[in-house]
Amino acid sequence: MPSIPGNLAGEDICDLQRTEDTLVAQSTLRIMSVVGARPNMMKIAPFIHALKRADAPFEHILVHTGQHYDASMSGNFLETLGIPAPDTNLGIGSGSHAEQVGKTMMAFEKVVRAREPDWIVVVGDVNATCACAITAKKEHRRLAHIEAGLRSFDMEMPEEINRIVTDRLADLLFTPDTMAGDNLRKEGVPEERIKCVGNIMIDTLEKNRARAQALNLPAIVKANLLDKNREADVPRLSQGYAVLTLHRPSNVDDRAVLEPLIRYFCDDLAPGLPLLWTLHPRTKKHLEDFGLWKSVGDAPGVFLLEPLGYREMLRLNMDADIMFTDSGGLQEECCVLGTPCVTLRYNTERPVTLTEHGGVSVLTGNDIDAIRAACQSMRGKRKPSSRPPLWDGDTAARIVACLENDGGT
């Protein structure tokens, strides 16, 4: 609470209350939050909803950097998750990393100067996160990072660079679990900046669980098939199915890596277990460029789908016999849903999701023998939900409470 100016002696309690109210109104915190790419949406939504519910007065400004721009990668998520239309869209679009980060910094700087927020809140680890974090501190704004402290220790991963830079600059670091906090302490982050609040994505999962459960599985698949001629082939899916998502550059940019993966999924797995594959635009482009598109599209048991909406993907995950993914968020969602998860990476910034820490996920990278062995031992063995502490749906409220407390400092 700021000090009360002037001489208040002689004022009655009501006057004092009015004075305080006035001061609180004057000290409304202006919070600017940032989204850029699809995985930011499910992290920002609960934060915005919690700001609205808070007792303290917050003014909120939402900036979309425009890194993702297709309806299926951005707009649909804003709508489904009840995220208000962004106040500003920087329209950055696709490009090299330097282009995306550089253009975002230039455009974001103007918005920060015009709106002068007290706090800038960034989420996750995409290029928008890092670009806006750097700009925030260069403009002397206070910076909060939601999902701080995750480390894959793989500097070839663009997201690892984004995480390290953002955490080095942040004034408040909201971590999803204790391992993330330990990473930050080892890097010398002062204790008072680290706030273990839990996993904000699980707020979104819990909020959408019932509505996702009510969706019809074959109807989702039919509605999102890339090849509408395959509609009659879609099975009832009650006999089991696998889900695949693949988008990391390390898995999809090199034909020598992508092709053996494709051959395993299309030739070994799918003839015995229907495979629902939601296609990221990056992967689609490479399948086409590498001349693999037709053989994948025609493979019996493989159903290529558009990028799915949030609830549709959650529904697929809920009953899957097995998930194959290189996404970080899906590893966490599988953990809470109990879906066996083969993580197509050699490392993870989310070790809390691994079986050795009580989770559901194993790391296989793109080693086909390891993927095959993991599938054989895990498939169909859904587990009870594994929920690290504070993955309870109330993370956003804890974050907003911290901002209320630290807001005036």
Instruction: Count CA atoms closer than 13 A to 157's CA, side-chain side.
Output: 23
**Of residues 257, 235, 54, 250, the one with CA closest to residue 158:** 250
From residue 130, give the alpha-carbon distance in Å to each of 135, 171, 379. Answer: 9, 14, 37
> Closest CB to ligand UD1 among 135 and 142?
135
Nearer to ligand UD1, 142 or 163 (CB): 163
CB nearer to ligand UD1: pick between 314 and 400: 314
Judge whether 310 and 77 are in contact, CB under 8 Å. Answer: yes
Cα 228 from Cα 219, distance rounded (Å): 13
Return all residues near 263 (Cβ < 8 A) that are at least 6 apart.
none
DSSP state of 354: B
Residues 6 or more apart in contact with residue 189 via CB below 8 angstroms: 167, 173
Asked about 64 being catalytic, the answer comes back as: no
Q: Taking the complex as a whole, how short is the minimal distance between the CB of residue 329 and ligand UD1, in angstroms? A: 8
Our CB check for ligand UD1 shows the closer of 299 and 363 to be: 363
Q: CB 161 → ligand UD1: shortest distance, Å?
A: 9
Q: Considering beta carbons, is residue 74 or 88 the nearer one to ligand UD1?
A: 74
Q: Which is nearer to ligand UD1, 285 or 383 (CB)?
A: 285
The answer to whether 353 and 177 have CB atoms below 8 angstroms apart is no
d(CA 375, CA 340): 9
Residues near ligand UD1, by CB under 6 A: 37-39, 67-70, 73-74, 94, 125-127, 158-159, 247, 280-282, 285
Angstrom distance (rounded) from CA 279 to CA 263:
16
Q: How far is the CB of 304 from ligand UD1 (least distance, A)?
A: 15
Least Å distance, CB 73 to ligand UD1, is 4
User: Hey, how many other C-beta atoms are within 10 angstroms of the C-beta on 376?
Assistant: 8
Closest approach, Cβ 126 to ligand UD1, in A, equals: 3
What is the closest distance, in whole angstroms, from the C-beta atom of residue 290 to ligand UD1 in the complex? 15
Instruction: Give the DSSP per-residue string, 5-23.
Output: PS--TT--HHHHHHHHHHH
- Helical residues (DSSP H) of 148-298, grouped into ranges: 158-169, 178-186, 200-213, 217-224, 249-252, 255-263, 281-289, 293-297
Shortest CB 163 distance to ligand UD1, Å: 10
* Catalytic site residue from 247, 280, 286, 357: 247
Q: If residue 89 lies in a helix (H) or strand (E), which one and from where to where?
A: strand 88-89
Q: Decide whether 176 or 274 has the Cβ nearer to ligand UD1.
A: 176
**Count of C-beta atoms within a 10 Å radius of residue 193:** 17
- CA dist list (Å): 242 to 106, 153, 239, 342: 43, 29, 11, 11
Task: Locate 45 and state its tokens.
Answer: 């939504």
Which residues does the annotation mark as catalytic? 247
